[in-house]
Chains A and B, each alone.
Chain A
Amino acid sequence: MNIKNDFPILENGITYLDSGATTQKPIQVINAVEKYYKTINANPHRGAYSLSIEATEAYENTRTKIAKFINAKSREEIIFSKNATESLNLIAYSYGMENLKKDDEIVISIMEHHSNLVPWQKVAKATSSRLNYMYINDEFEIPDEEIEKKITDKTKIVGITHVSNVLGTINNIEKIIKYAHKKGSIVIVDGSQSIPHMKIDVQKLNADFFVFSGHKMFAPLGIGVLYGKKELLNQMTPFLMGGDMIEYVYEQETTFAPLPNKFEAGTQNVGGVIGLGSAIDYIENIGYDKIKEIEEEIVNYAVQELRKLDYLELYLTPNNKNHSGVISFNIKGVHPHDVASILDSEGVCVRSGNHCAQPLMRYLGIDSTCRASFYIYNTKEDVDKLVNSLNKAYDMFKKYIKQ
């Protein structure tokens, strides 16, 4: 099985190591979106004509597919959004703003992406609640004691990323969810960096909310998902107001549609939804077991080879089982943007910067990192190219590096 062949953009031989930012798209997904626009495009839920009904069916069938994919109890628990960021904002506004009061606590981790951090600052300020952080240890993991210290009887919301987009750390969300529930708090899991790589079962996890972006799992840009437990979604007020989320609209009053439409105002990104459905088919055809096998081989090889470069600083846990496909690193004394530019000149695409995680960078005492993130189309050859181009970058800089 040569997975790379499914990805037209990789035909030109680039070494794409930025799947944590967005994945490339397989031809199957591209074809599915094209077919949608060529054959059944219409505005769903609105037309009485057969084309609109076909579009509605394709849209709603994908909702059912996603519910099965993450084992939600019912399809109404799947809300389409623009991306994980919008899903998190929906929860912050429709749950956070309505349910928090003075002196309540919101607990998140220091490794959160800005999307699961800035909205909670806003909620904390608006409701006079407090925003507290779970910090990491020297192994870039959140210790159990930290979880039990920070989640208290006052905690009403815990927001936690399943996998860090900077460190690749897989957080012990099972423990966090159990402990938070014991303390009477709900838990929001940001699954953006986990669902591309591992099977998610929201019922088994018992997460109250689980959000992710399609574009990090082979789907087009601009489509995301919010999973929420039905009882919570039912008691929440809508986030965006407009068409298709209403029942009756009078001059001064409106009653809202039931789930899931209540949270889907305006014409939706049906093409994106179709693409996401096709991406899920693609993942299921390969299977998470196989995905894990491919990734482990490449990531283990990458870690092994990068550890050999003594000019490199790595920011990752030594515990392999707690690490996913993201590796952050720096050439000591050289700025990551310069490293990324030199890697780019060798056809190697890595991200450099603060990865939308400024508080984490500050906590680590650094400005930014280079980040290589892997997915199933990557090969050991890609890792070798990364290592060779890092050597080249180091050679260019070494006589200028201040010791």
Chain B
Amino acid sequence: MEDLTDVYNELIMEHSMNSYNKKKLDNPDFEEIGHNPNCGDEITLEIKLNGNIIEDMAFSGHGCAISQASTSVMIDTLKGKTVEEAKEIIKTFIGMIKREIADEEELEKLEDAIAFKNVSNMPARVKCALLAWHTMEDIISKNETSGKGNINCCN
């Protein structure tokens, strides 16, 4: 295996052990639990919207450094984006981890989340990196299919 400091880099370590995004929001619009039953990682995502803009996000829960950091960095990346932009970024991140997207230019939209690229070389840890992103994907699609094609419909 390659040097693990590529995976456990400064950004990931800081976000996993001391994340400022690990808190509770007042009156979140959406709340969803993501769970990896095999390893016990569990996170709760909270989202606050302003129109179609993701105004604020926070998480709580427990898990390994990769799942925790990935959640925190996702929040940094998606905050301030529209729901449409978020969907695109999530798709790109999942594509990167699954090694389906390698194009540097395309990956640029991931901002700091590009730091997780090397997790794609650790098959045992892919699901740790994807937990939060799949959970966010679920929130968006659930609210799209349950109503008027708009995340705002279920407030």
Contacts and interface: CB of A to CB of B under 8 A. Distances in A.
A397 B8 CA distance: 9
Interface stretch (B45-53, B122-130, B134-142): B122-130
Nearest to A401: B17
Given A341-B122, A400-B17, A402-B18, A353 B39 contact: yes
Interface string B40-62: 11000000000000000000001
Contact of B4 (A352, A367, A396, A402): A396
Given A335-B63, A338-B66, A342-B4, A400 B40 contact: no
Interface residues of B, number: 24
Given A337-B128, A338-B65, A353 B38 contact: yes
A337 B62 CA distance: 12
B21 interface: no
Contacts of A344: 1, 124
A232 to B, nearest CB: 35
Contacts of B41: 337
Interface in A315-354: 333-338, 341-342, 344-345, 352-354
A361 interface: yes
A368 interface: yes
Contacts of B18: 400, 402
B1 A400 contact: no
A367 B40 contact: yes
A342 B5 CA distance: 10
A143 B64 CA distance: 34
A345 B124 CA distance: 12
B71 interface: no
Nearest to A342: B4
B62 A338 contact: no
A345 B40 contact: no
A338 B8 contact: yes
B111 interface: no
Contacts of B125: 337, 341
Nearest to B10: A400
A396 B18 CA distance: 15
Interface string B89-133: 000000000000000000000000000000000101100100000
B124 A400 contact: no
B17 to A, nearest CB: 4
B13 interface: yes
A396 B8 contact: yes
Interface string B61-89: 01111101000000000000000000000
Interface string A359-374: 0010000011000000
Contacts of A354: 39-40
Interface string A96-129: 0000000000000000000000000000000000
Contacts of B122: 341
A354 B37 CA distance: 9
B14 A338 contact: no
Nearest to A339: B64
A337 B4 contact: no
Interface in B1-24: 1, 4-5, 7-8, 13-14, 16-18
B60 to A, nearest CB: 14
Q: Which of B4, B38, B63 has the most CB of A within 10 A?
A: B4
B124 A341 contact: yes
A367 B62 contact: yes
A402 B13 CA distance: 12
A221 B86 CA distance: 45
A400 B124 CA distance: 23
Nearest to B62: A367
Contact of B13 (A333, A358, A400): A400
Nearest to B17: A400
B128 to A, nearest CB: 7
A353 B16 CA distance: 18
A188 to B, nearest CB: 26
A341 B40 CA distance: 16
Contacts of B17: 333, 397, 400-402
A353 B1 CA distance: 21
Nearest to B122: A341
Contact of A337 (B1, B5, B13, B64): B64
A333 B4 CA distance: 19
A358 B68 CA distance: 21
Contacts of B128: 337
A198 B133 CA distance: 47
The 4 closest A-B pairs by CB, nearest first: A335-B64, A400-B17, A337-B64, A367-B40
14 contacts: A333-B17, A337-B63, A337-B64, A337-B66, A338-B8, A342-B4, A361-B40, A396-B8, A400-B14, A400-B16, A400-B18, A401-B17, A402-B17, A402-B18
Interface of B: 1, 4-5, 7-8, 13-14, 16-18, 38-41, 62-66, 68, 122, 124-125, 128
Given A337-B128, A342-B4, 13 more contacts: A333-B17, A335-B63, A337-B41, A337-B125, A342-B8, A345-B1, A352-B39, A354-B40, A358-B40, A367-B62, A368-B40, A397-B17, A400-B13
